[in-house]
Amino acid sequence: MNSYQAEKIPEAKVKTLEKPPYVIAESKLHRFDSKNIIFHRVAWDSSWKGYRRMYDEKVLRMISEEKPGYSRVDFALAYASWIVHDAFEGGFSWKKIKPNRTQVDTVGIDWTKTRYEVDDPHQMSILIKRAAKLFGASLVGVCKFNRDWLYADVDVPRKFQNVIVVAVEMDADGIATSPAVPAAAATGVGYSKMAFILAGVGEFIRNLGYEAIQCGNDTALSIPLAIDAGLGELGRNGLLITPQYGPRVRLCKILTNLPLEPDKPIEFGVEEFCKKCKLCAEHCEAGAISMDNEPSFEAVCRSNNPGASKWYVHVERCYLYWCENGTDCSTCIKVCPYNVASAGEISLSPKEFWEPNQK
């Protein structure tokens, strides 16, 4: 069952820092233009092989081949997992959504007309985190809005000075089947949970008389904001590594003018461990993850943003593999020792996913 030999991670000793642990080259860093996100380039960038290729292009053929983990049932689950994310209008709204029905207990009250006075930002941060956990957040942090992480083509008013960053744990057994389709279902459920959490926390903020901009992968870069908010560190696989779940999380955030106390960044040895481990790079089907011993400041493709010291992921290769696989891939999450330490299983077959008693 456990077909990957995971490195043993050192006992996590989380330290709080005054500044984020990443290293920036100011002369090279610039705000990233969202048109260069790999999924956007599919529509306009004719200079690369992924132009106008969709990663569902081989799905029907794959189903007909009856490959385990790529059945009609598997794909039905994966497509169902995105329904709240894709259909819920309130998930990523910058404004209050008007309900399509009126409840008796809300008639006559417009909570947005008056502002709840916040005398203690520390206490307000505690309340926001409790609300986010109630709505389903696995981890919550707060940071000041560093506008280096705002997309270059997006304008956000200066009054939005705080960011609430949420991490949502993904199903461990689903991710353990990667690159098979149940792993994609675990990803989709993560995104659908994000939409509900964002809508709930955003409305909570508006009901206090403040403003909220709810964001998934849009508007600003999630990973550096999550690092700023003390949720984790950046790994070799280009993902946030959290002490609790490793990289097995989805990220979202809310920009707000609600007075909040920021959290401090943390450090628990991820970069030094990643220098030696390299499991994600060894098992990447696309060859998209760097095997270099040291991180660098240099991007490897147009969908990277240069200027930060890290291992840059060749996401063009990643996307092209998705097109061959018929769905997305989470193998770099699955094999990460920080994930294994929390998930228990390194690898599951699709049969073991669907029939847990077969484990």
Does residue 186 fall inside a structural domain?
yes
Does residue 105 fall inside a structural domain?
no
**Residue range of the domain that includes 325:** 15-94+116-358
Does residue 110 fall inside a structural domain?
no
Query: Of 294, 339, 325, 324, which Cα lies nearest the Cα of 312?
Result: 294
Strand partners, 143: 163
Token pair 């699955």: residue:
334
Number of domains into which the chain is organized: 1
Is residue 226 within 8 Å of 238, Cβ to Cβ?
Answer: no
Does residue 155 fall inside a structural domain?
yes
CA distances from 96 to 36, 163, 199, 296 (A): 30, 18, 9, 42
Alpha carbons 150 and 156: distance in angstroms, whole number? 8
Pairing of strands 139-144, 162-169: antiparallel
Task: Kindly give the confidence (pLDDT) of every residue in the chain, 359 residues in length, as a single tens digit, with 9 standing for 90 and above.
Answer: 345 566 678 776 899 999 999 999 999 999 999 999 999 999 999 999 999 999 999 999 999 999 999 999 999 999 999 999 999 888 888 888 776 666 656 566 788 889 999 999 999 999 999 999 999 999 999 999 999 999 999 999 999 999 999 999 999 999 999 999 999 999 999 999 999 999 999 999 999 999 999 999 999 999 999 999 999 999 999 999 999 999 999 999 999 999 999 999 999 999 999 999 999 999 999 999 999 999 999 999 999 999 999 999 999 999 999 999 999 999 999 999 999 998 877 899 999 999 987 66
Does residue 24 fall inside a structural domain?
yes
Does residue 269 fall inside a structural domain?
yes
Give all strands of the β-sheet with 249-256 in edge-to-edge order.
139-144, 162-169, 249-256, 212-215
Residue 102 has a pLDDT of 60
Alpha carbons 8 and 338: distance in angstroms, whole number? 9
CA distances from 285 to 66, 172, 194, 331 (A): 21, 20, 28, 8
pTM of the model: 0.94
Residue 111 has a pLDDT of 83
Does residue 34 fall inside a structural domain?
yes
Does residue 273 fall inside a structural domain?
yes
Is residue 209 within 8 Å of 112, Cβ to Cβ?
Answer: yes
Residue 137 has a pLDDT of 98
Residue 1 has a pLDDT of 39
Dihedral-angle region of residue 155 (phi above 0 means left; psi in -120 to 50 means alpha; beta otherwise): beta
